[in-house]
Chain A
Amino acid sequence: MKSRLALPALLALLVLAFLASLAFGELRLSFGQVLGALTGGGDEIARTVVRDFRLPRALVGAAAGAALGASGVVMQAFFRNPLASPGLLGVSSGGALGAVAVLALAPATGLAAATLWALPLASILGAFAATGAVLMLAQRGAGTERLLLSGVALNALLGAGTSFLLTTTAGHFEVNAQILFWLMGGLESRSWEHVWMGVPAILGACLLLLPLGRPMDLLSLGEQSAQSLGVDVRRLRRQLILLSTVLTALATAVGGIIGFVGLVVPHVLRLAFGPDHRRLLPYSMIGGAAFLLACDLVTRTFPLGMRLGVVTALIGGPFFLWLLRRPR
Chain B
Amino acid sequence: MSRSSAPRLFALLLLLVLPLLAARPQRVVSQAVGTDELLLALADPGQIAALSHIGRDGRFSVVADEAKRFPSLKDSDAESVLRFRPDLVLAASFTRPETLALLRRAGVRLVVLDRFDTLEDVYASLRILGRELGQQARAEALIASCRGRVEALAARLKGVRPVRVLTAGAYPFTSGAGTTFQDFCDHAGALNVAAEAGLKGHAPTPSEKLLTWNPEVLVVSGDRPDGADIRARLAEIPHYRALAAFRAGRFAVIPGALMSSVSHHRIDAYERLARALHPERFR
Interface residues of A (CB under 8 A from B): 25-27, 45, 48-49, 52-53, 56, 107, 110, 112-114, 116, 171-174, 177-178, 181, 188-191, 193, 304-305
Contacts and interface: CB of A to CB of B under 8 A. Distances in A.
A48 B54 CA distance: 42
B211 A49 contact: yes
Nearest to A118: B236
Contacts of B172: 188-189
Given A27-B208, A178-B171, A110 B229 contact: yes
B206 A304 contact: yes
Contact of A27 (B209, B235, B241, B242): B209
Contacts of A188: 172, 207
21 contacts: A25-B208, A27-B208, A27-B209, A27-B212, A45-B212, A52-B238, A52-B242, A53-B238, A107-B59, A110-B229, A113-B232, A116-B236, A171-B57, A178-B170, A189-B172, A189-B207, A189-B236, A190-B238, A191-B237, A191-B241, A305-B204
A171 B211 contact: no
Contacts of A49: 208, 211
B171 A26 contact: no
B215 to A, nearest CB: 14
Nearest to B171: A177
Contacts of A45: 211-212
A173 B60 CA distance: 10
Given A45-B211, A110-B229, A191 B238 contact: yes
Q: Which of B60, B204, B212, B236 has the most chain A CB atoms closer than 10 A to its own CB? A: B236
Contacts, number: 68
Contact of B211 (A48, A174, A193): A48
Nearest to A50: B208
A146 B239 CA distance: 46
B203 A48 contact: no
A105 to B, nearest CB: 14
Given A45-B212, A53-B239, 19 more contacts: A25-B208, A26-B209, A48-B242, A52-B238, A52-B241, A52-B242, A56-B238, A113-B230, A174-B169, A174-B170, A177-B171, A177-B173, A189-B172, A189-B237, A189-B239, A191-B237, A191-B238, A304-B204, A305-B203
A43 to B, nearest CB: 10
Contacts of A173: 173, 260
A263 to B, nearest CB: 28
B47 to A, nearest CB: 26
A109 to B, nearest CB: 11
B211 A191 contact: no
B85 interface: no
Contacts of B204: 304-305
A52 B203 CA distance: 22
B233 interface: yes
A189 B238 contact: yes
Contacts of A25: 208
A52 B242 CA distance: 9
A61 to B, nearest CB: 14
Interface string B139-183: 000000000000000000000000000000111110000000000
A172 B170 CA distance: 12
A112 B235 CA distance: 12
A268 B236 CA distance: 37
Contacts of A172: 59
A114 B232 contact: yes
Interface string B205-240: 011110110000000000000000110110111110
A116 B211 CA distance: 22
B208 A181 contact: no
Contact of A171 (B54, B233, B235, B236): B54
Contacts of A174: 169-171, 173
Nearest to A29: B208
B203 A112 contact: no
Closest 6 CB pairs of A and B: A26-B208, A177-B171, A27-B208, A191-B238, A304-B204, A113-B232
Contacts of B232: 113-114
A304 B203 contact: yes
B263 to A, nearest CB: 16
Contacts of A190: 238
A30 to B, nearest CB: 14
Contacts of A181: 171
Contacts of B57: 171
B256 to A, nearest CB: 9
A304 B210 CA distance: 13
A26 B210 CA distance: 10
Contacts of A114: 232
Nearest to B211: A45
A53 B236 contact: no
Interface in B43-84: 54, 57, 59-60
Contacts of B170: 174, 178
Nearest to B234: A113
B206 A191 contact: no
A149 to B, nearest CB: 36
A116 B241 CA distance: 13
Nearest to B199: A304
B200 to A, nearest CB: 12
A112 B171 CA distance: 12
Contact of A113 (B208, B229, B241): B229
Contacts of A56: 238
